[in-house]
Amino acid sequence: MKNCLVTGGKGFIGSHLVNFLRGKGHYVRCVDVSPTSILETREHEFICGDLRQFSTAYSALQGIDWVFNLAANMGGIGYITELNAPIMRDNALINLNVLEAARILDVERIFFSSSACAYNRDLQKAEQCEPLKESDVLPAHPDSAYGWEKLFSEFVYKSFEEDYGLNVRIARFHNIYGDHCVFEGGQEKAPAALCRKVIESTDSMRIWGDGKQTRSFLYVSDCVEAVYRLMSSTFSDPVNIGTSDLISIDDLALLFQKFAGKKLRLIHDLDMPQGVRGRNADISLAKCVLNWEPTVSLDVGMKKLYDWISDQLPLV
């Protein structure tokens, strides 16, 4: 059993990972700038602190074997489109501080949560896009500051591995969703936002963009299983963690309408950000090196999300 640290452990994926690791019998320390989470976590030890400060990172990594670094300033498409400088600054500071503390304290292994936003925008111009392979990240041309920060951080992690022998694991997440997530306030992701709109609407609902943009989505329980397998493996290059089940935003809205028993008119707001035209994941490498593939289908996972959010909101 390992002494594990989950940074950002009160966030969406982090809170699920904390409980997953605890279920595996590991000692789990959690550090987050927020003292609370939507999902109740079962860590052994909690540190409330800001990882933009090196002293917080150094204190949090004391006595740790495995570091799962999920701490980040991030949100949905509206959030990452509007806030460029804070995202670049905050996330660069977090990653550099955690890495430097890991180097000084000689931790056994460190995981970094990268993103599909790191991929070249020129490969994401079609709705029925080719699934992105890990090698497609270069030549570099992310479509957002958030994507550039993730790609930069990947190179920083690999540099610490090459120069200092730090044992690094990197996953590129492709649209992770599930219960106990943010679903309002501006930092929510597309599935939660669409689900909330369906629940709160009676006649029509607003869609950002023309609704034809496509994405693939991975349920959070499959995500944390993949992260654990990657951390337990000997593979140190970036790996896609996602699915290849592509769906348009309009079709996702219609799926939530089916769950709600509603038929709402879709109003498309072309002035709002919608990101790349299409993004899909090639998970061949994850299947090969991790013996992993998703187990929760899109219909089942989105129904779980709908049921959870509907419990949080009054039905209309």
Annotated catalytic residue within 79, 119, 146, 228: 146
Locus of tokens 């509907």 = 310
* DSSP for the chain, written as a single string: --EEEEETTTSHHHHHHHHHHHHTT-EEEEEESSS--SSPP--SEEEE--TTSHHHHHHHTTT-SEEEE------SHHHHHH--HHHHHHHHHHHHHHHHHHHHHT-SEEEEEEEGGGS-GGG--SSSPPPBPGGGG-S---SSHHHHHHHHHHHHHHHHHHHH---EEEEEE--EE-SS---SSS---HHHHHHHHHHH-SSEEEEES-S--EEE-EEHHHHHHHHHHHHHSS--S-EEES---EEEHHHHHHHHHHHHT---EEEEETTS---SSB--B--HHHHHHH-----S-HHHHHHHHHHHHHHHS---
Q: Known catalytic residue: 146?
A: yes
Would you name the residues annotated as active-site residues?
Answer: 146
